[in-house]
A and B are shown apart, each in its own frame.
Chain A
Amino acid sequence: MVMSSSSTTITEPTAWYGPPPPPELTDNAASLELLSQGAEARVWLATIDISGAISKADGSTKSSSGGSKRSVHVGSGINVPQLSSLAQHPSPLSDESSSSSSSSQSVKVIVKERFPKKYRHPALDMSLTKSRTKGEARSLIRCKRAEVACPKVLAIANWSNLKDNDGNVHKKSETTKAGNVCTTSSCLFIEHVQGCTVRQYFEQRLESTATQDSPSSKRQRLEEEGDDSNLLEFKQQQDRVTTVIDSHTLCVAYNIGTLVGKMHAAGVVHGDLTTSNIMIQNPPPSTKDITNQETEERSWEADLVLIDFGLATSTNSTIVTTAAAASSNDASNNSKKPHKQQHSAEEKAVDLYVLERAFLSTHPESEPLVEEVLKGYREFFEGMGSNNDGCTEGRMGMLPRQFSIG
């Protein structure tokens, strides 16, 4: 059975594009594995050797050692002792992994690298790269404080490079010649989350609805008969696969709803909710093994973590009321100030709508799962004793643009 491109599980990229990662990164990590390269950032899994480094942990970082504020801004350089000290902070997410890592003398961290884009004006590029990394960190920290499951922010680092006219990259300390262009790489260091993305979990469990006729023989027959319209139709049908709907997947969906509700209550709108941006730490075993575990099934709860806050916006205050939300709606106004008082109901509805689109377009026939997500979202707000601004009900009607998408 040939699967359409969207249903294949994400293969590990073997090579990156864009400039090589900053030497500060490659020099200090024992290994650097590229997990993904999106439009904006490269995500690396860095393994950092911490044997012997723990004693020197308090290097020259401008670490704010207060317990509540966990972000650490690192100036121009970052080194192993600094990073490993950051990774030593106990975290609710990685209870087991941190205890095991102390014995193996190495820790895993995720590095989200925003690298210079050749096509952009250097001044514009630098300001976008920096502000987006900072914005992502801000939203993560805000979620963490409200106990919304997400990776902990470990550090931010900006590295400047000078590119001369021949395209060679120098460290900033070297001489500045006229015509040289300054570029910046920004790295966000965050905690590594165990498990897989919800998308990968769903896709591993795809069920195909195969027709009796074997695909290749039917295709051959149609081609011989020269039946163009049936051939066209057949090409359309053969990719059909459906998403498994069972107690586990429904539970995952319900928990997604709760998690998104919690995030919205914390004053964060994600901006890019897809099943690739939600990770599941405890994917349940496959369908075949379920019968043995029938008894455990009821108590199983999906352990979900939100990632990828690259497009998120966060507000100052946590409790969102309908009245104030309605007034702050002007897109052009928002663009200039990073902080807004409130998110409007529409912004939250867009978040849910984006998630719905992602479900339906990535996971065939997943409508029941979407309903379950919305149920979880509603019931979270009901449990809080507040309303959800009608986001779930009005999620289609209030969107002028997507209205007509098929």
Chain B
Amino acid sequence: MTSLSSSSTATDPPCPIAPLHNLPIPPPSHFAHLYKPNSSGQTVILGIEGSANKCGVGVLCYNPTTQTYQTLSNPRKTYVSPAGCGFLPKETAWHHQAHVVALIRAALSEAFPNETHPHKTQLSAIAFTLGPGMGGPLRSCAMAARTLSLLWKVPLIAVNHCIAHIEMGRVATSASDPVVLYVSGGNTQVIAYSDGRYRIFGETIDIAVGNCLDRFARVVGLSNDPSPGYNIELEARKHCQERPLKFVELPYVVKGMDVSFSGLLTFIEDLTKKKEFVKNGDEKQGEEQFTTADLCYSLQETIFAMLVEITERTMAHCGQNSVLIVGGVGCNKRLQHMMADMVADRGGTLCAMDHRYCIDNGAMIAQAGMFGLQFGSESMLVKMEETQCTQRFRTDQVEVVWRPKTRGKHA
């Protein structure tokens, strides 16, 4: 697309492709007739992700002799919107359309450098994101997946974006049954597995946490590069022992296991219109004044405390003691730190942060697709006419056929 300047694509490094740890789930052999492994008996899946502003393509390989999953390649491009506005569906869709083919080429040649036609000899299936997410970007990537499936005659696997985060996280950290906090621009959920599904124990009743951060960043004029949330984190990090930032009390809304951010966002936006608000620290004269950094710090302290609290409630409720944070906001060091403090107090473990499941990418779509394929998930192994993308697609709609169906924890 000519209308896209090169600066709109972020120059973020690709996801790491180190081998994954593995969960002890040997795939059942009798679904093998559904797909064809390559000549060395391995199952290789190409995963395509594009539900938000990142377009990613990953190649994942299952090796039956070692029973391990390995990411062979995982390139990605991020659409960065101009300062002061969020990414809109139309421009983001253009971005993905412009990059998806090159990404697929790059992913395949990186995964199989010595092969001229890896798509003919290696691929067992193509996995793509069915939802949830933004319609246009989703459809752009699904279109690529459909075309390749017809062209290369391999089955399609429709993947729920959230399930992909969770499964990549579980495989990468070997955490077999963690409580999952899924925090991104469009999602805020606390999830635990019970009785065949990933159940949502708590969630936001209005806007997502990433959305709240992004919108506030725009109000105070922080840049979108690399991401508005990261720039808020940098502001908040100005807090230190010698020069502590001011903590401004903000509305704290936890209702049972649910959270709400919209009232808080309105409140903090109003604060920036007050005469006590000064943009930079050097302008600060009196105690009653507060700066952008003060507000960023207070915002993070408040909303992350809410998230940690509902995660802890879910842990107590389900009797589980490991936590996995997935989604873009999961990269935030302060959130990681607060969660680690809470989990340590309870004698549990927090899974290490990793870009392979925190930031949207293609390999995680391939990982969830791999489970769906290996365990013969009827809802995921779709026919061509069932590949309509869906902007709303709840985590608990997916039947998790690859995990044992134990009754347990209340939902």
Q: Which residues of A contact B (CB under 8 A)?
A: 4-6, 17-18, 37-40, 117-121, 123-124, 127-128, 179, 226, 228-229, 232, 235-236, 239-240, 271-272, 274, 311, 331-333, 335-336, 354, 357-358, 361-362, 364, 401, 404-406
Whether A4 touches B408, Cβ cut-off 8 Å, given contacts A119-B341, A228-B30, A331-B205, is yes
In the bound complex, do residue A228 and residue B397 qualify as a contact, i.e. CB atoms below 8 Å apart? no
| Among B29, B241, B345, B408, contact of A179 (Cβ-Cβ < 8 Å) | B241
| Among B200, B339, B408, contact of A119 (Cβ-Cβ < 8 Å) | B339
The residue among B200, B205, B342, B407 with the most chain A CB atoms within 10 A of its own CB is: B407
| Distance from A290 Cβ to chain B, minimum over Cβ atoms (Å) | 28
B316 at the interface (CB under 8 A from A): yes
In the bound complex, do residue B347 and residue A17 qualify as a contact, i.e. CB atoms below 8 Å apart? yes
| Distance from A310 Cβ to chain B, minimum over Cβ atoms (Å) | 10
SS class, residues of chain B in contact with chain A: mixed
In the bound complex, do residue A17 and residue B346 qualify as a contact, i.e. CB atoms below 8 Å apart? yes
Rank and list the top 5 A-B pairs by shortest CB-CB distance, nearest first. Answer: A332-B263, A361-B410, A228-B28, A39-B316, A119-B341
Q: Which residues of B contact A (CB under 8 A)?
A: 28-30, 194-197, 199-200, 203, 205-206, 241, 247, 249, 251-253, 255-256, 258, 260, 262-263, 266, 301-302, 305, 308-309, 312-313, 315-317, 319, 337-339, 341-342, 345-347, 394, 396-397, 404-411
Instruction: Select from chain A the residue with minimum beta-carbon distance to B376.
Output: A229
Instruction: Select from chain B the residue with minimum beta-carbon distance to A165.
Output: B241
Given A6-B409, A121-B302, 7 other A-B contacts at CB below 8 A? A6-B410, A119-B308, A232-B28, A311-B256, A335-B263, A404-B396, A405-B199
- In the bound complex, residues from chain B placing their C-beta under 8 Å from that of A311 are 255-256
| Distance from A313 Cβ to chain B, minimum over Cβ atoms (Å) | 9
In the bound complex, do residue A4 and residue B407 qualify as a contact, i.e. CB atoms below 8 Å apart? yes
- In the bound complex, residues from chain A placing their C-beta under 8 Å from that of B253 are 331-332, 335
The residue among A40, A117, A127 with the most chain B CB atoms within 10 A of its own CB is: A117
- In the bound complex, residues from chain B placing their C-beta under 8 Å from that of A354 are 256
| Distance from A181 Cβ to chain B, minimum over Cβ atoms (Å) | 11
- In the bound complex, residues from chain A placing their C-beta under 8 Å from that of B28 are 228-229, 232
In the bound complex, do residue A118 and residue B345 qualify as a contact, i.e. CB atoms below 8 Å apart? yes
In the bound complex, do residue B29 and residue A228 qualify as a contact, i.e. CB atoms below 8 Å apart? yes
- In the bound complex, residues from chain A placing their C-beta under 8 Å from that of B305 are 119-121, 124
Whether A6 touches B407, Cβ cut-off 8 Å, given contacts A228-B30, A331-B255, A405-B199, is yes
What separation, in Å, do the CA atoms of A229 and B319 have in the docked complex?
28
SS class, residues of chain A in contact with chain B: loop
What separation, in Å, do the CA atoms of A146 and B75 have in the docked complex?
64
| Among A38, A127, A228, A361, contact of B411 (Cβ-Cβ < 8 Å) | A361
In the bound complex, do residue B249 and residue A336 qualify as a contact, i.e. CB atoms below 8 Å apart? no
22 residue pairs from A and B, CB less than 8 Å apart: A4-B406, A5-B408, A6-B319, A39-B309, A120-B305, A121-B247, A124-B252, A232-B28, A232-B405, A311-B255, A311-B256, A332-B263, A335-B260, A354-B256, A357-B411, A361-B411, A401-B205, A401-B258, A404-B394, A405-B200, A405-B411, A406-B196
What separation, in Å, do the CA atoms of A404 and B393 have in the docked complex?
10
| Distance from B346 Cβ to chain A, minimum over Cβ atoms (Å) | 6
Instruction: Select from chain A the residue with minimum beta-carbon distance to B340.
Output: A119
| Among A124, A274, A336, contact of B247 (Cβ-Cβ < 8 Å) | A124
- In the bound complex, residues from chain B placing their C-beta under 8 Å from that of A229 are 28, 30
In the bound complex, do residue A271 and residue B260 qualify as a contact, i.e. CB atoms below 8 Å apart? no
What separation, in Å, do the CA atoms of A401 and B206 have in the docked complex?
11
In the bound complex, do residue B346 and residue A119 qualify as a contact, i.e. CB atoms below 8 Å apart? no
What separation, in Å, do the CA atoms of A13 and B72 have in the docked complex?
46
- In the bound complex, residues from chain B placing their C-beta under 8 Å from that of A271 are 255-256
- In the bound complex, residues from chain A placing their C-beta under 8 Å from that of B345 are 17-18, 117-119
| Distance from B59 Cβ to chain A, minimum over Cβ atoms (Å) | 27
- In the bound complex, residues from chain A placing their C-beta under 8 Å from that of B251 are 332, 335-336
What separation, in Å, do the CA atoms of A271 and B262 have in the docked complex?
21
What separation, in Å, do the CA atoms of A358 and B257 have in the docked complex?
14
Instruction: Select from chain B the residue with minimum beta-carbon distance to A19.
Output: B345
| Distance from A114 Cβ to chain B, minimum over Cβ atoms (Å) | 12
